[in-house]
Structure 1
Amino acid sequence: MLWPEQPARQDVGHGVANGSVELKERAVSYPEILHHGATQGVTGSCHQLLMDAQHSLLIDCGLFQGAETSAEGRAGAGSLAIDFALDTVKALIATHVHVDHVGRIPYLLAAGFKGPILCSEPSARLLPIVLEDAFKLGVSSDQRQVERYLELIGQRSIALPYKHWFTLADTSTLLCRIRLQRAGHILGSAYVEIDLTYKAIGRKRRILFSGDLGAPHAPLLPAPRPPYRADTLVIESTYGDRLHEDRRSRRQRLETMIEQALADRGSVLIPAFSIGRTQELLYELEEIIYRKTRSRPAAREADVRSSSHADWPQLPIILDSPLASRFTQAYRELQPFWDREATKRARSGRQPLGFEQLITVENHADHLRMVEHLASTARPAIVIAGSGMCTSGRIVNYLKAMLGDRRHNILFVGYQAMGTPGHAIQKYGPRGGYVDLDGERLEIRAGVATLGGYSAHADRQGLVSFITRMREWPDEIRLVHGEADAKRALGAELRRRYAEKQKRVSIITP
């Protein structure tokens, strides 16, 4: 057991015939799933599995971002409160530590949640870093309060190894077991299998929550493997309406787009999430620099330096995010969870996440000096800074200083939610439009490009394969965490696949 069992109800199941009938009738109505987020877009993930009248689980409890709303229609910062009952919630399972999946945990605790927070072993290492930042931004920066809060998080967190079943509840009427499997999205990400057995009626049901599934061949991470079976599947649909390029093409496009941008003789700004995307970018940039250094003849040094192309071995890669730096260090320490390719590189003496050209900017004064230096000199450089959707963080200062200069370029490598500054820049920048940042309207003269295939999410083919490679396909699929078009496209493709195999399925869009 991972927590003390509640006393069994005294009015149920004493061998009385009508009591047994009532118990069976109630059991048939379970399990039930309530969605408290990620139904109107790709943020605010929070799902509640009602197992019976006394037991439920939360899967994720994330922040809403941009113009996306809670189930009650409140947008962004207005949907922080936990406005659903917690009296039956026995545990929170965190599929991974992105803020749109865990960012409301401070508010969950404030609302009275007393249960454990279950996650993978890498996530248990990364979660305090995420929640410390979320607490400071949203609750209080008082160090004593922060320390007390982090101590509470540490007491509540339980790290579970992958691939092992764990019993969460075992009463006279219900058996609940869970298992975490690698999801390949970011380090520590997991999809959750939940086995329910209703003892009174001998009924079993396996429910699977995908969390965010990673793309095959993502840097650093093993690809997710589908489970054997599921009866009900709650699956993300972020890229349910499109296909990604293969990894080699993505890396080549990354290299080409950076070289084209640097030909403008300015800097390249890459907004990136502090965890996951930043580390993948560093990994890929190290590979490009490594290949360029090994393949370029020394005799051509002067020619390359004088050309309009990037001098990769001398090009500064600036990581301007203290939070991203902390995550990158944690990633280095979690090397046992890397994939074979990354591990092989490290063993050969390379430093995929700490190479020579990497410059980290820690304190705010150094950050401001770096912004001023690059804005005034337009020195060729690559800057990686958060936040990934340009809603806050140090990337905002770079954008305010450099968006109006044609020498600079913005390169988007991640999803930009509706209502975020990143989405506005991505949409209107190529048209010579504007964006509002910190109450200031800025014309966009810098180049704007999107490397859409560079995603930590599975595309339509990956999502469909996750289902169709199961031995036993689910008969109920719930599509969450996606825009309406993505859900429609994914749903249509799944119906086609099921029809081909003459299988029945109920596809639900909450």
Structure 2
Amino acid sequence: MQIIHHGGKFGVTGSCHELVISDSAAILIDCGLLQGNDDRNGRGGRTSPFIDFPLERIKGLVLTHVHIDHCGRIPHLLGAGFQGPIWCSEASALLLPLVLGDAVKVGISRDRHLIARFLDSVKKRLIPLPYDRWHHLGCWDGRSVSLRLQQAGHILGSAYVEVSVNPSPQPEQTATITGPRDDTIVVFSGDLGAPFAPLLPDPTPPERADILVLESTYGDRQHEGREQRRERLYRVIVRALENRGALLVPAFSIGRTQELLYEIEDLISRHRTEEAAAGLPWDDLEIIVDSPLALSVTRVYDRLRRLWDKGALETIAQNRNPLSFEQMTIIESHADHWATVEYLRKTARPCIVIASGGMCAGGRIVNYLKALMSDPRTDILFVGYQAAGTPGRDILEAAQQRREGDAPVFIDLDGGTYPLRAAVHTISGYSAHADQRNLVEFVEGIAVSPKIIKLVHGEEAARTALAGVLAKKGYEVEH
């Protein structure tokens, strides 16, 4: 077998990996969009979304989750002539049409009939699979191929992928650690969640992985613990409100937005009788959620409470809903979005704005930044990874270089240049990605250790650092 990387090997976006079963059979694991400066070969290659590899032997696509850097090239895949099934978790099957519909509308066409036809084509290809159950894909060139999805704890519906390739054509023969070892197990981690994250259960390592394709986004650092990050979130909110300005939080519509709402509702519940700032009780704090996609996704999260972790279900049992509470204001229409941006620009009203566009390369957060980041009363909070070449990374790096009293730094944003006077904060503990310690523990938890680990989905420094730690523990690592 061979693994060919069509994206996501040398950067943190564009994940697309081809598992070659034989000369005439292969499956794709993810088909994501490249963002920022990421390229396909690590040598300044093209970042075009178009499919530039042959599809004749591709039997199907396995989707680990529905973040755009893992699914965003699906429209181009279908446009290139892909006819196969799309295997994914049950939750991902509900979320994918929402995500792709939004992506097509923003990046390709606003023609409603065209979008509807495209989504109908996607839905016909979807094969939802339950977690923790082997599914036989087919027998190709004398090789029996089976698939199992396991909870990855990254976002709702996220999965790591186990592929069993057996030279026997018997479909009922699936991989076990006690049964025959004729098969080869290839595990693709997708994006692994950090333990103790809100809402979702922690990922559990597989029993066996002969070949492990492992993400390395935070392979060179450690996250804060949940109590520490909650305390930091509390302090950032209080500081922003004391400034009497808005706190802008760029967030991905899937995963990060729901986790932030969960944590903010918890802070309000804990501090309800206190003032967040002088004259502003926590009970009166307004949280503006400006993302139509996030609203649709949050409804799916609420519908699939059976996939929540124990802590989240206990919150529901207390008659609290962490994803829909009194202090939330939902912005849906484009007109209401612009009205809110203009109102905050004129008034600098103390509030929290969670808006779509996790790396500030697009989405409604861009308009808030253009209107408010020149105001020193504004605070900006990053809670997720900012890829090199994105405006989010530019803002972070500019803020780190700027000292108090310095002239404002100018940021290129949406074709214009804007001064940055806002305070900038980052809380890595809210990343939906596992950190170095979590990744190592995931590997060490595999009962039958990998013969080789292939590191992907990380910048060079992160891959190198993680490779060094794993090599010291005796693993063979390719990065």
CA deviation map 1:372-400 (0-9, x unaligned) = 11111111100000100000111111111
Q: Distance in 1 between matches of 2:257 and 2:94?
A: 17
Q: Distance in 1 between matches of 2:3 and 2:363?
A: 35
- Mapping for residues 88-99 of structure 1, pairs under 5 Å: 88-99=57-68
Give the deviation of 1:180 after TM superposition. Answer: 0.2
Residues 10 and 42 of structure 2 are in contact (CA less than 8 Å); yes or no, is this contact kept in structure 1?
no
In the alignment, what sits opposite 1:109? 78
Residues 235 and 478 of structure 1 are in contact (CA less than 8 Å); yes or no, is this contact kept in structure 2?
yes
Against the structure 1 CA distance between its residues 163 and 285, is the aligned structure 2 distance closer, same or farther, given a 3 Å change threshold?
Answer: same
Q: CA RMSD in A?
A: 1.6
In the alignment, what sits opposite 2:382? 412
Give the deviation of 1:428 after TM superposition. Answer: 0.2
Residues 22 and 141 of structure 2 are in contact (CA less than 8 Å); yes or no, is this contact kept in structure 1?
no
In the alignment, what sits opposite 1:480? 456
Against the structure 1 CA distance between its residues 72 and 82, is the aligned structure 2 distance closer, same or farther, given a 3 Å change threshold?
Answer: farther
- Mapping for residues 290-309 of structure 1, pairs under 5 Å: 290-293=269-272, 296=273, 304=275, 307-308=277-278
- % identity of equivalent residues: 51
Residue 398 (str. 1) matches residue 368 (str. 2): yes
Q: Distance in 2 between matches of 1:321 and 1:466?
A: 33
- For the residue of structure 2 that corresponds to 1:462, the secondary structure is helix
Against the structure 1 CA distance between its residues 72 and 404, is the aligned structure 2 distance closer, same or farther, given a 3 Å change threshold?
Answer: closer
Give the deviation of 1:333 after TM superposition. Answer: 0.9
Contiguous gaps of at least 5 residues in structure 2 = 170-180, 403-407
Q: Distance in 2 between matches of 1:212 and 1:172?
A: 31
In the alignment, what sits opposite 2:175? none
In the alignment, what sits opposite 1:100? 69
Letter in 2 for 1:377: T
Q: Distance in 2 between matches of 1:72 and 1:411?
A: 30
Q: Distance in 2 between matches of 1:195 and 1:320?
A: 43
Please tell me whether Structure 1 or Structure 2 has the larger radius of gyration of its CA atoms: 1
In the alignment, what sits opposite 1:149? 118
The one of 383, 400, 412 aligned to 1:436: 412
In the alignment, what sits opposite 1:194? 163
Residues 183 and 189 of structure 1 are in contact (CA less than 8 Å); yes or no, is this contact kept in structure 2?
yes
In the alignment, what sits opposite 1:124? 93
Give the deviation of 1:74 after TM superposition. Answer: 6.4
Q: Distance in 2 between matches of 1:169 and 1:397?
A: 48
Contiguous gaps of at least 5 residues in structure 1 = 1-30, 499-504
Q: Distance in 2 between matches of 1:441 and 1:140?
A: 27
Residues 120 and 188 of structure 1 are in contact (CA less than 8 Å); yes or no, is this contact kept in structure 2?
yes
Residues 237 and 247 of structure 2 are in contact (CA less than 8 Å); yes or no, is this contact kept in structure 1?
yes
Residues 238 and 457 of structure 1 are in contact (CA less than 8 Å); yes or no, is this contact kept in structure 2?
yes
Residue 42 (str. 1) matches residue 12 (str. 2): yes
Residues 260 and 309 of structure 1 are in contact (CA less than 8 Å); yes or no, is this contact kept in structure 2?
no
Give the deviation of 1:347 after TM superposition. Answer: 2.6
Against the structure 1 CA distance between its residues 435 and 172, is the aligned structure 2 distance closer, same or farther, given a 3 Å change threshold?
Answer: closer
CA deviation map 1:112-147 (0-9, x unaligned) = 111000000010110100011112122221111111
Q: Distance in 1 between matches of 2:326 and 2:124?
A: 38
- Mapping for residues 352-431 of structure 1, pairs under 5 Å: 352-430=322-400, 431=402
Q: Distance in 2 between matches of 1:326 and 1:253?
A: 29
Q: Distance in 2 between matches of 1:152 and 1:129?
A: 14
The one of 301, 306, 318 aligned to 1:336: 306
Letter in 1 for 2:153: G
- For the residue of structure 2 that corresponds to 1:43, the secondary structure is coil
Against the structure 1 CA distance between its residues 72 and 461, is the aligned structure 2 distance closer, same or farther, given a 3 Å change threshold?
Answer: closer
Give the deviation of 1:334 after TM superposition. Answer: 1.2
Give the deviation of 1:424 after TM superposition. Answer: 0.6
Residue 251 (str. 1) matches residue 217 (str. 2): no
In the alignment, what sits opposite 1:347? 317
In the alignment, what sits opposite 1:315? 285
Residues 264 and 407 of structure 1 are in contact (CA less than 8 Å); yes or no, is this contact kept in structure 2?
yes
Aligned residue pair count? 462
Q: Distance in 2 between matches of 1:235 and 1:246?
A: 22
Residues 259 and 309 of structure 1 are in contact (CA less than 8 Å); yes or no, is this contact kept in structure 2?
no
Residues 66 and 75 of structure 1 are in contact (CA less than 8 Å); yes or no, is this contact kept in structure 2?
no
- For the residue of structure 1 that corresponds to 2:193, the secondary structure is coil
The one of 439, 447, 471 aligned to 1:463: 439
Q: Distance in 1 between matches of 2:140 and 2:88?
A: 23
- Mapping for residues 8-27 of structure 1, pairs under 5 Å: none
CA deviation map 1:15-44 (0-9, x unaligned) = xxxxxxxxxxxxxxxx11000101221000
CA deviation map 1:359-382 (0-9, x unaligned) = 001111111111111111111100
Residues 263 and 309 of structure 1 are in contact (CA less than 8 Å); yes or no, is this contact kept in structure 2?
no
Q: Distance in 2 between matches of 1:49 and 1:223?
A: 27
Residue 454 (str. 1) matches residue 424 (str. 2): no
Q: Distance in 1 between matches of 2:141 and 2:393?
A: 52
* TM-score for both structures, normalised by structure 2: 0.94
Residue 324 (str. 1) matches residue 294 (str. 2): yes
In the alignment, what sits opposite 1:236? 215
- For the residue of structure 1 that corresponds to 2:428, the secondary structure is coil
Against the structure 1 CA distance between its residues 310 and 418, is the aligned structure 2 distance closer, same or farther, given a 3 Å change threshold?
Answer: farther
- For the residue of structure 2 that corresponds to 1:329, the secondary structure is helix
CA deviation map 1:247-299 (0-9, x unaligned) = 11111111111111211111100000011000000010010011112xx3xxx
Q: Distance in 2 between matches of 1:354 and 1:184?
A: 22
Q: Distance in 1 between matches of 2:140 and 2:322?
A: 49
Q: Distance in 2 between matches of 1:418 and 1:269?
A: 21
